[in-house]
């Protein structure tokens, strides 16, 4: 295997589980099942062995892993007997022989050495404070195992494990993960072929690097899909912005178009001239986009170095060409229709000062768009998960025709999820602002209350409703997207944080090895570790239900201590009482239970009913004082036969239901009992530091977990699920910034171009006596009324979409997850939305102030000249 191309090194280890017997210092005979391990003297495990023997492990001697239960029973110089059993001849009769070993010492291994020895790679996971180590017995590979192998052992007795290291620098590329996976799979295939050619031994290859890369690639593809979905409204806003600004710009260039027509240019030639301008702008924009993208990539990678901007592996010719082509397509398509309409303008109309009134627009398409978009808005408002609803419907009543129809409806609903809001905004603004005389009359009436300038502004609004409808559509779309993404981001972050907290169970949780020593370990922790506010024991076991087939998970708690230590949410508990009152009921009476809702529904149990629960230690009659968990769906959790019930949730009973005094045999009688310690910390205390202090105590625990540790793992990509969720949120917020900036720039550009178009009108008004302040007020009245309408529309629809998206997501996760999403409005969320809205207003107000100031300045210069 070392000669396979791409393999850097190969390490070997043997493992076998065998029975050992020995006599302790008191003369008592002990028997253990332990894992016996052997490896060559050049193994990397020796590098992780802190007190390794200089010349390897001598013949017929053994080292015991330090800190284990076995290490407490034996001493250096003791003799242990390993009874090795195997089938011989070949899987017919069991054969065994005894191997006598002398304990030569206790092996102190690093976590890496323990992981290599046992294959338990999870001890290397960041933040996993695992104290408990299984019993290990190390023997010499050449001195003991191989001599025994050649003389006695059967080939099936010992498992040979080869740890193969590949040349990662040459094989793995972060810029082409799939190609890296293909290379690693090829190496794996070559290794298998190599082993098969040399041996008939049964074997398998675990390709850990491919597993990690595949998981990463899956998360990356999800992020890429999120990027596409986020970028769609941004690119659409850019396209629509180009369309609107070009329409206004070509209107200003009417005289130029008329002169070109009189010079003999055809409409096709004029349009191609405009498209050529758009092509140049697209190329320039694509080049700036490439540079900006490279700078942003370096920024998010941690350092911006302009000297190496174009030398990084992030840029290749295909990406550069694709970016420029896309920019050109976006620019050309955005001006195509407006340039086509402008190029076909009659020369006599083009040379006029003002265009004649536009033809009445058709209402058919806005009505269709409003109906399609309105359907999805109503679905969001009702919080209906159409896909799940139709699947349940076809499952219950379905046939072939209904299944086909439901599939079509699901596809339609999925498409409407992404384009429905856009259609709604466009149809609504087109029908209300552009085509509704009632809306324009209402705007006139409202504006007239603000004086003569308000009435004049209202007349100007009615003069060009199509342009104002386009601005209202763009602003409402971006504000709606801003509200939706910002609220969903805050809610998703809240969901991820609560999910991590729930997975830990408290600020810090400790899983105890020996359940009977839980209270002793808890006392040790509270005495030696500062910063602990409350602590509680939580015992978990399974109990038989009355049908004698199904079992449910039960947690035995001290109600008062558990409520003060554990992480839970009030919505998880239902009934007539609050959570505090339920805990008080458990405290008052031992024969009470907070029953899991799925069990209650399956067996038709209600509040205050009594039920028989058959524990391993004996059956008990319990009174139901509340329920725990979400409402189960119609399809209950049963197996294929339909007899066995299972649930991912648990029920709660008071721990005093059992005899918990010292020396009690309850932990032996309840065979499935496991104990966990839950800690709540003082405000400001870091859970990772507390976990480290508990780890240093050297207690008999399987592992220590904390919320701070798990949250840090989520942020640092150690937990791909939550990491992907968080990065998707960052991606959406990042895209949202561009969307808002494009909307702000677009609003300002349209305002500037529109005011430039009315330069003669503004000059005449100034001559007639309107001051700078009056001009500004009139222009503001024209724009702010439409902007305010669009902002209100965007906020309302954005909130509806956010509510619908969260409610729909909860429908699909509430059956298997306690933590569900909720509308969450931290102060930062409201501040971000307010900033986006202020940016839209500021861009319009700034454009009006600048353009009006230019009008007044030009007029003053003309007066001074004359």
**DSSP string over 803-855:** HHHHHHHHHHHTTT-S--------HHHHHHHHHHHHHHHHHHHHHHHHHHHHH
Distance CA(132)–CA(512), nearest Å, equals 9
Residue 639: the pLDDT is: 41
Residue 399: the pLDDT is: 65
Helical (H) or strand (E) element with 47: none
SS3 category, 118: helix
| Closest to 659 (Cα-Cα) out of 670, 650, 651 | 670
Q: Dump pLDDT digits (tens) for 401-453.
A: 777 777 888 888 888 888 889 899 988 888 887 665 566 556 555 555 555 55
Give yes or no for a contact between 85 and 18, defined as CB atoms under 8 angstroms apart. yes
Cα dist from 702 to 71, 294, 698, 705, whole Å: 17, 47, 11, 10
246/333: higher pLDDT: 333
Identify the bridge partners of residue 536 per DSSP, sorted by sequence position. 678
Cα dist from 840 to 596, 749, 845, whole Å: 51, 12, 9
Helical (H) or strand (E) element with 20: strand 7-23
Residue 550: the pLDDT is: 75
Residue 642's pLDDT band (cuts 50, 70, 90) = very low
Instruction: Report DSSP letters for 640-679, one per residue.
Output: SSS--B--SSEEEEEGGGS--STT-SHHHHSTT-EEEEEE
624 CB burial (10 A radius; 0-12, 13-18, 19+): buried
CA-based angle 818:822:825, to the nearest 5?
145
Provide the pairing of β-strand 618-628 with 573-574.
Answer: antiparallel
**What's the token pair of residue 25?**
């210092």
Other beta carbons within 10 angstroms of residue 769's beta carbon come to: 7
90/464: higher pLDDT: 464
Provide the pairing of β-strand 610-615 with 618-628.
Answer: antiparallel
Helical (H) or strand (E) element with 77: none
Distance CA(722)–CA(609), nearest Å, equals 40
Q: Is the pLDDT of residue 818 over 70?
A: yes
Long-range contacts formed by 542-546: CB under 8 A, 24+ apart: 542/672, 543/613, 543/614, 543/615, 543/616, 544/613, 544/614, 544/615, 545/599, 545/603, 545/613, 545/614, 545/645, 546/603, 546/611, 546/612, 546/614
Distance CA(691)–CA(130), nearest Å, equals 10
Q: Dump pLDDT digits (tens) for 344-367.
A: 887 777 666 555 555 555 678 889
| Alpha carbon of residue 836 to chain centroid | 25
SS3 category, 623: strand
Most confident of 150-164, 525-539, 810-824: 525-539
| Alpha carbon of residue 109 to chain centroid | 37
pTM: 0.75
Q: Is the pLDDT of residue 509 over 90?
A: yes
Q: Dump pLDDT digits (tens) for 119-158.
A: 776 655 555 555 667 888 999 988 888 888 777 665 567 7
* Mean pLDDT across 53-72: 88
465/518: higher pLDDT: 518
Q: Is the pLDDT of residue 479 over 60?
A: yes
28/453: higher pLDDT: 28
Distance CA(88)–CA(554), nearest Å, equals 46
* Mean pLDDT across 804-820: 81
Residue 202: the pLDDT is: 60
> For 514-558, where are the alpha helices, taking DSSP H only?
518-528
Q: Is the pLDDT of residue 837 over 50?
A: yes
How do the residues of the chain divide into helix, strand and coil, expressed in percent and rounded to 5? 60, 15, 25
Residue 660: the pLDDT is: 67
Q: Is the pLDDT of residue 512 over 70?
A: yes
Residue 387: the pLDDT is: 82
Distance CA(130)–CA(705), nearest Å, equals 9
């Amino acid at each position: 295997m070392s000669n396979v191309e791409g393999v850097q090194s190969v390490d070997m280890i043997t493992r076998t589980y065998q029975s050992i017997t020995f006599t302790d210092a008191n003369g008592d005979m002990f028997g253990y099942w332990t894992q016996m391990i052997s490896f060559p003297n050049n193994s990397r495990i020796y590098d992780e062995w802190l007190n390794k023997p200089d010349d390897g492990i001598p013949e017929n001697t053994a080292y015991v892993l330090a800190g284990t239960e076995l290490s407490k029973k034996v001493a250096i110089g003791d003799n242990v007997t390993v009874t090795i059993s195997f089938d011989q001849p070949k899987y017919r009769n069991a054969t065994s022989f005894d191997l006598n070993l002398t304990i030569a010492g206790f092996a102190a291994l690093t976590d890496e050495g323990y992981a290599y020895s046992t294959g338990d790679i999870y001890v290397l996971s960041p933040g996993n404070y695992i104290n408990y180590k299984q019993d290990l017995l190390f023997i010499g590979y050449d001195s003991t195992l191989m001599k025994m192998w050649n003389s006695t052992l059967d080939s099936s007795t010992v498992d040979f494990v080869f740890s193969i290291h590949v040349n990662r620098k040459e094989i793995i590329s972060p810029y082409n993960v799939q190609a890296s996976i293909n290379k690693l799979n090829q190496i794996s295939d070559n290794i298998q072929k190599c082993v098969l050619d040399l041996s008939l031994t049964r074997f398998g290859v675990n390709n850990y690097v491919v597993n990690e890369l595949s998981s990463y690639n899956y998360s990356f593809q999800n992020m890429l899909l999120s990027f596409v979905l986020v970028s769609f409204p941004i690119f659409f806003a850019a396209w629509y912005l180009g369309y609107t600004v070009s329409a206004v710009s070509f209107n200003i260039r009417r005289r130029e178009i008329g002169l070109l027509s009189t010079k003999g240019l055809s409409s096709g030639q004029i349009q191609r001239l405009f498209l050529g301008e758009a092509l140049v702008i697209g190329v320039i924009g694509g080049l700036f986009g490439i540079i900006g993208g490279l700078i942003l990539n370096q920024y998010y990678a941690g350092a911006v170095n302009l000297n190496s901007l174009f030398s990084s592996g992030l840029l290749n010719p295909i990406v550069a060409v694709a970016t420029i082509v896309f920019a050109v397509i976006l620019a050309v398509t955005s001006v195509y229709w407006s340039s086509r309409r402008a190029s076909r303008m009659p020369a006599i109309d083009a040379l006029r000062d003002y265009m004649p009134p536009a033809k009445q627009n058709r209402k058919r398409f806005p009505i269709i768009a409003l109906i399609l978009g309105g359907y999805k808005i109503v679905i969001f408002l009702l919080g209906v998960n159409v896909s799940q609803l139709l699947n349940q419907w076809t499952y219950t009543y379905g046939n072939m025709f209904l299944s086909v129809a439901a599939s079509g409806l699901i596809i339609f609903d999925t498409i409407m999820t992404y384009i429905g809001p856009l259609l709604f905004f466009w149809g609504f603004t087109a029908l209300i602002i552009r085509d509704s005389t009632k809306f324009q009359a209402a705007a006139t009436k409202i504006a007239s209350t603000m004086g003569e300038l308000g009435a004049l502004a209202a007349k100007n609004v009615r003069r060009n409703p199509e342009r104002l409808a386009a601005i209202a559509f763009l602003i409402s779309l971006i504000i709606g997207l801003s509200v939706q993404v910002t609220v969903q981001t805050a809610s998703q972050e809240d969901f991820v944080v609560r999910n991590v907290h729930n997975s830990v169970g408290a600020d810090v949780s400790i899983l105890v090895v020996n359940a009977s020593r839980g209270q002793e370990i808890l006392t040790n922790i509270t005495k030696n570790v500062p910063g602990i506010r409350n602590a509680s024991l939580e015992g978990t076991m399974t109990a038989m239900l009355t049908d004698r087939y199904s079992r449910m998970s039960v947690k035995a708690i001290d109600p008062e201590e558990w409520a003060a230590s554990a992480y839970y949410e009030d919505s998880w508990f239902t009934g007539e009482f609050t959570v505090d009152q339920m805990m008080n009921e458990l405290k008052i009476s031992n024969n009470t239970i907070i029953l899991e809702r799925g069990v209650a529904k399956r067996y038709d149990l209600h509040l205050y009913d009594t039920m028989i629960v058959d524990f391993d230690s004996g059956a008990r009659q319990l009174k139901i004082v509340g329920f725990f968990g979400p409402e189960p769906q119609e399809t209950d959790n049963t197996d294929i036969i339909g007899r066995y019930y299972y649930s991912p949730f648990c029920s709660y009973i008071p721990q005093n239901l059992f005899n918990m005094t010292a020396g009690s045999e309850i932990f032996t009688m309840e065979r499935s009992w496991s104990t966990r310690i839950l800690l709540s910390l003082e405000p400001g205390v870091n859970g990772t530091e507390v976990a480290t202090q508990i780890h240093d105590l050297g207690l008999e625990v399987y592992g220590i977990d904390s919320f701070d540790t798990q949250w840090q793992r989520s942020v640092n990509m150690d937990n791909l699920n939550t990491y992907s969720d968080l990065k998707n949120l960052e991606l959406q917020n990042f895209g949202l910034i561009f969307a808002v900036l494009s909307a702000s720039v677009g609003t300002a550009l349209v305002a500037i171009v529109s005011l430039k178009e009315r330069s003669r009108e503004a000059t005449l008004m100034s001559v007639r006596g309107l001051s700078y302040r009056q001009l500004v007020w009139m222009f503001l009245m024209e724009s702010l009324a439409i902007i305010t309408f669009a902002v209100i529309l965007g906020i309302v629809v954005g909130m509806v979409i956010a509510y619908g998206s969260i409610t729909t997501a909860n429908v699909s996760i509430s059956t298997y997850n306690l933590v569900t999403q909720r509308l969450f409005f931290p102060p930062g969320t409201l501040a971000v939305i307010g900033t986006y809205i202020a940016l839209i207003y500021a861009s319009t107000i700034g454009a009006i102030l600048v353009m009006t100031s230019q009008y007044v300045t030009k007029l003053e210069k003309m007066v001074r000249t004359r």
